[in-house]
Structure 1
């Protein structure tokens, strides 16, 4: 009877789950059909407008996949640390991703992401160029869709890079690819997670050293929390100025006439902006911490509470910067196709109509709301356990790594940095645990040796008594006590061995998740490239 009830319950859950999946799919299809219809109807009478409509459909699909996969890196740590609920994270990310795309997404994008193929190789022939961009969009979107299903956070930039490279090779051969650029992108597979991991681990260790390991944690927090939050503010404002505002910088210079007349902000200007904001934040946070200190417990949990609000701001700012930068992954090729269809030629840069920008911004928000929770959970809790101070360290790594990399001219991926930061804090926890492990293991091994000596002594005494011919009552009583003592010693030895085994097995980073994610990173570019080449030949075959 109980088994029948369990089966019925499972059936009910399965029906409920499939119903939710059907609703999600319905919303996604509605958005894609709306984009297709608008694009087709608004470009009626123009040659190749069917290609533009289909490309818009692919762009909408790509944007939703960016929302489902990439945005998790910005809000996942905040959700995993319970600074934000899943619903709150989705609302904040959707608003700030969309705002970043619309406000700072720019009105011009490079048609070929990061100059990975030579546009002249198309010889001015528009049709193969359109097919190549369509193939790149669809291939990148399909790969992202697969990665999301497998719960693997991958780089959307690398996905579109692989797509453009594969379609370019299919269209014009291997000579079309700028292999030096591809080498830099391959280098980012190592640079991004390593830098992110080191910086996140460094900040977490600094937080532990200055506050968590202190006897009076609250007094230490009064001094250090404002400093750490001010550093975060400096990093984020600098990062946001360099990455998020560069596309609208000329408009800012027109308003703030005292700024140097330049096309994009310099690191010095961005750093000064960051410093001004950091000083203001320091004063505000210092007053807030002083006010809250009396109500906090002198524990690690008490310190964690002070990082909750900064984490929410970090999630919002990361989402804004991501929307400003990565919307081009969805709409860059679409803007290129739109430009090619409208002008009948191929250009290295293309203007972005408002409807194309809306496809990118709305698609990212819709994809995040419908399918984002799966990857948010993976990033937030399925790699290592995060609390507020660990998640804060990951957010710091995300902004500071990009600043360092941009100044050194190193290619980095925001996905790889964030996940690398999570690896970093997890491995730091393992290292700190292992420093105490040696003492525990040594102590237990010493106990085992002592117990074995006692066991040997009891066994020897028992053998002597059992071999004795004329046993007295006290001898029999002693034999019973010795059997009990031997059982007790054996139990103590087993317990000590089990403790040693458990201590040695402590792993704060889930190895299976690490292997799966790294494998997905390595194959993203080649997988998207092969898929894109196949789609290009399929489109070419259908058209010709």
Structure 2
């Protein structure tokens, strides 16, 4: 994040995007054990469906048994695949060690799933397909089972061929296709599907704006200050205090479920803000005592980055648990105490536990790769991206909108890159100073990543809708429901 006076600064966005590409490649390799497990799960589910169908067993039993198996694997896949978004930068910056970091992200993810996962889960359970006429019926369960199987099949296939895709996108597509077969084209809320798809485009842009704003603040007020130490002491503790206070206020509001406990919310937020302020101030003072002439931004930002990790882990659990809990709650309706359209806390907790299991058992290798010197972002830029991603995903979760955490993070990387260029221009670095070939390369890099993001959701939605529809038609035909 420090300012550079030579032409190397022009390569920053290219390097960050290149590192993101390396992270995606590392992700694909680290995900192989989960991918092999996915192949096994799909084989087991296929055999189970065949045996139960031939034996004349209850279709409801078929849906519950198969649904639980597929949902459990999807949860572990989510936990293993996305943990690097939360933890990789913090481990690479030395803000936290790997094992405690995995445990922290796992706990934060469970908390997010239980406390804030209901909005997205309910949207997926009943907001895309109008299941009210089938509430509690076997056909509704079969539709959601088909959606889970269709999404799991595409994720497994895409991983096998090296194409990174989003679980959220896959589930939305699977539910859309299965719902169209079960209830007809009119049974799908196409306006809702279109809105969710538009949010997939808008959230990376929003994250980019937030990340850019945070970076401009840090660089102009701290990094480039005449006295960096004094500026860090003035700006960083209040910033972390604000982050901690607002986040805890949000969590307490979720716990209370009402604004009538305003005194408790204020007290908890104030306590969190004071704790964040004191911890950050002590960290800054220690750094200034050890390196009074040139304090390290990397070490100064460790407390802020750690707070961002907790927020992003919570946001990830809140948003991605819906991919499991939404369909599973429909499958389990009538077999557990729940009302139509509502997702019980037990299902949310189980989904959060599945994600946490994937994080703990399969996340170690991926975080090591992403947190290494090859793929990690600069600590300051990583903090900006982490905070922007957490805020954006939390906002989407509150509105009940499933989004891709990875795509949101890519938007944050773009925002940081563009903000650095704008700051460079403010320092009288003229555009003509940049070689023409560098300008062309940056255009190509950006276009490549934009096309990758766009292609991912454009392709995933119709493919998973088709797989969900075919699976649903096959299940309904084989069981005679």
TM interval, shorter chain, is: 0.7 to 0.9
Shift of 1:327: 2.0
Counterpart contact for 2:76–2:354, Cα < 8 Å: yes
Q: Do structure 1's residue 196 and structure 2's residue 196 form an aligned pair?
A: no
User: Is contact 2:322–2:402 with CA below 8 Å preserved after alignment?
Assistant: no
1:207 is aligned to 2:218: yes
Question: Residue 335 of structure 1 contacts residue 352 of structure 1 at CA under 8 Å; is this kept in 2?
Answer: no
1:109–1:351 Cα contact (<8 Å) kept: no
1:141 aligns with 2:141: no
- CA-based RMSD of the aligned residues comes to 4.5
Change (3 A) 1:325 1:194: closer
Q: 1:286 aligns with which of 278, 281, 288?
A: 281
Please identify the structure whose Cα radius of gyration is greater: 1
Report the equivalent of 1:419.
Answer: 410
Question: 1:113 touches 1:161 (CA, 8 Å); kept in 2?
Answer: no
Higher-RCO chain (CA-CA 8 Å, sequence separation at least 6): 2
Report the secondary structure of 2:324's partner residue.
Answer: helix
Q: Which residue of 1 aligns with 2:384?
A: 393
Structure 1 length as normaliser, TM-score? Answer: 0.67
Displacement of 1:23: 9.5
Cα separation, 2, equivalents of 1:18 and 1:106: 32
1:524 aligned partner: 460
* CA–CA separation in structure 2 for the residues paired with 1:523 and 1:223: 48
Per-residue CA distance 1:137-167 (angstroms, 9 max, x = gap): 1222333445555776655333322221111
Residue deviations 1:303-353, cap 9 Å, x none? 22111133123213321343244323212212221224569x993235455
Partner residue, 1:226 = 237
Matched, 1:57 2:64: no
Q: Which residue of 1 aligns with 2:20?
A: none
Q: CA deviation at 1:136?
A: 1.0
Is 2:122 aligned against 1:117? no
Change (3 A) 1:539 1:46: closer
Contact 1:117–1:168 (Cα < 8 Å) also in 2:
yes
Whole-Å Cα distance in 1 between the matches of residues 107 and 394 of structure 2? 24
Unaligned runs of 5+ in 1: 1-16, 254-258, 443-498
In the alignment, is residue 315 of structure 1 matched against residue 309 of structure 2? yes
CA positional deviation for 1:230: 2.0
**Residues of 2 paired with 1:20 and 1:439: CA distance?**
44
Give the 3-state SS of the residue equivalent to 2:225 in structure 1: coil
Tell me whether 1:127 sits opposite 2:144 in the alignment.
no
Which deviations, in whole Å up to 9, do the C-alpha atoms of 1:173-227 show, x marking residues without a partner?
Answer: 1111122322321221232111110010110111000111123211211111112
Give the Cα separation in 2 of the matches to 1:406 and 1:357: 14
Q: Determine helix, strand or coil for the equivalent of 1:348.
A: coil
Counterpart Cα distance in 2 of 1:421 and 1:163: 28
TM-score, structure 2 as length reference: 0.75
User: Where does residue 304 of structure 1 map in the other structure?
Assistant: 298
Q: 1:540 matched to which residue of 2?
A: 476
1:520 positional shift: 1.0
User: Measured at CA, do residues 281 and 152 of structure 1 come closer, stay the same or move farther in structure 2, by a change above 3 Å?
Assistant: farther
CA distance in 1, matches of 2:35, 2:201: 36
1:335 corresponding residue in structure 2:
329
2:340 matches 1:347? yes
> Per-residue deviation at 1:543?
2.3
Structure 2 residues not aligned, in runs of 5+: 1-27, 52-56
CA–CA distance in 2 between the matches of 1:88 and 1:170? 46
- CA-to-aligned-CA distance 1:43-69 (integer Å, 9 cap, x gap): xx9773233111111111221222133
Structure 1 residues 214, 189: CA separation in 2 closer, same or farther (over 3 Å shift)? same
Q: Is 1:107–1:351's contact at 8 Å kept on the other side of the alignment?
A: no
Deviation at 1:135, TM superposition (A): 0.8
Contact 2:136/2:340 (<8 A) preserved: no
Distance 1:28 1:169, change over 3 A: closer
> How far, CA to CA, are the matches of 1:19 and 1:402 in structure 2?
24
| Number of residue-to-residue matches in the alignment | 443
SS at match of 1:51: helix
Between 134-143 and 233-242, the greater mean CA deviation after superposition: 233-242
In the TM superposition, residue 536 of structure 1 has moved relative to its aligned partner by 0.8
Contact 2:95 2:303 in 1 (8 A): yes
Q: 1:180 aligns with which of 177, 187, 191?
A: 191
In the alignment, which of 249, 262, 271 is matched to residue 256 of structure 2? 249
